[in-house]
């Protein structure tokens, strides 16, 4: 571990998941490691990040499906953007399956940003993590014209998730469709793939609203939890469509 990373990750603001109760002690596996392993390496998480982060089992499944579509993009070089970084674990997995791609992440919460920045340093990850609002940072960032863009869209759900009615994609913070529109407006000449994290129970009108913005889309749900409480991903493209799938 680099000296600066060691100093950073020794901060008293950081904690392990020992005080969080899960039926499965390895539930919060991230960065390809079980909790005891990542803690031994100096990785730390805020309690709320441990609860909200995309764990390895889900991150790997999402990343595999993202890669299966992204590798069919007309562009040979890709930039992967995560506007709501959190732990960066999903981006970590996407880059593992798209190893020659550039990874960029934005995080508006300063404390989450500082801890994740430390974790990435500990792990030697070359993800460009930037603190600030995603809209402003998108405007400031430049992507070469020959690059394809993959965007992982997972803003905080908050009141958008109701266990009975499901996930309303129009009520996330910010709404999913707003994020897609912001990215598409910022990079109008690029081929794009959007990967939106979703819930098994989902508001059909909010889902259809997003699909109308895309040239091609496919919903995939992963049977990792009990029926009705699984997560998944909505894959969608702008400016192109996978050759093996009709629009």
**Superfamily holding 55-238:** Vaccinia Virus protein VP39 (3.40.50.150)
Do residues 133 and 139 touch, judged by C-beta distance below 8 A?
no
Task: Give the tokens for residue 35.
Answer: 């909790």
Inter-axis angle of helices 56-70 and 89-97, nearest 10: 40
> Nearest-CA neighbor of 238 among 169, 172, 189, 197?
189
Rounded mean pLDDT, 112-130: 94
Report the predicted TM-score, pTM, of the whole model to 2 decimal places. Answer: 0.88
Query: CA-to-CA distance for 201 and 163, rounded, in angstroms?
Result: 8
Residue appearing with tokens 């499965």: 24
Q: Contact 145/138 with Cβ under 8 angstroms?
A: no
Beta bridge partners of 197: 233
What's the average model confidence in pLDDT over 83-95? Answer: 96
Does residue 48 carry a pLDDT above 90? Answer: no
- Tell me the per-residue pLDDT of 104-113, one tens digit each, with 9 for 90 and over: 999 999 999 9
């Amino acid at each position: 571990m680099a000296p600066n990373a060691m100093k950073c990750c020794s901060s008293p603001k950081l904690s392990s998941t020992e005080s969080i109760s899960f039926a499965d002690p390895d539930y919060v596996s991230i960065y390809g490691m079980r909790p005891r392993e990542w803690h031994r390496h100096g990785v730390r998480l805020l309690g709320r990040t441990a609860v909200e982060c995309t764990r390895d089992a889900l991150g790997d499944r999402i990343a595999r499906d993202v890669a299966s579509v992204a590798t069919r993009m007309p562009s040979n070089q890709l930039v992967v953007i995560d506007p709501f970084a959190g732990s960066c674990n999903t981006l970590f997995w996407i880059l593992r399956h798209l190893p020659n791609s550039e990874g960029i992440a934005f995080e508006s919460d300063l404390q989450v940003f500082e801890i994740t920045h430390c974790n990435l340093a500990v792990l030697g990850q070359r993800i460009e993590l930037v603190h600030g609002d995603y809209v402003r940072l998108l405007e400031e960032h430049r992507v070469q014209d020959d690059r394809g863009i993959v965007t992982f869209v997972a803003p905080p759900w908050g009141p958008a998730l109701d266990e009975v009615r499901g996930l309303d994609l129009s009520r996330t913070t910010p709404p999913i469709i707003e994020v897609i529109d912001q990215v598409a407006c910022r990079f109008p000449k690029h081929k794009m793939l959007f990967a939106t994290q979703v819930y098994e129970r989902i508001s059909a009108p909010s889902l259809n609203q997003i699909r109308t913005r895309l040239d091609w889309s496919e919903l995939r749900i992963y049977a990792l939890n009990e029926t009705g409480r699984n997560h998944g991903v909505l894959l969608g493209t702008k400016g192109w469509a996978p050759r093996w799938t009709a629009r």
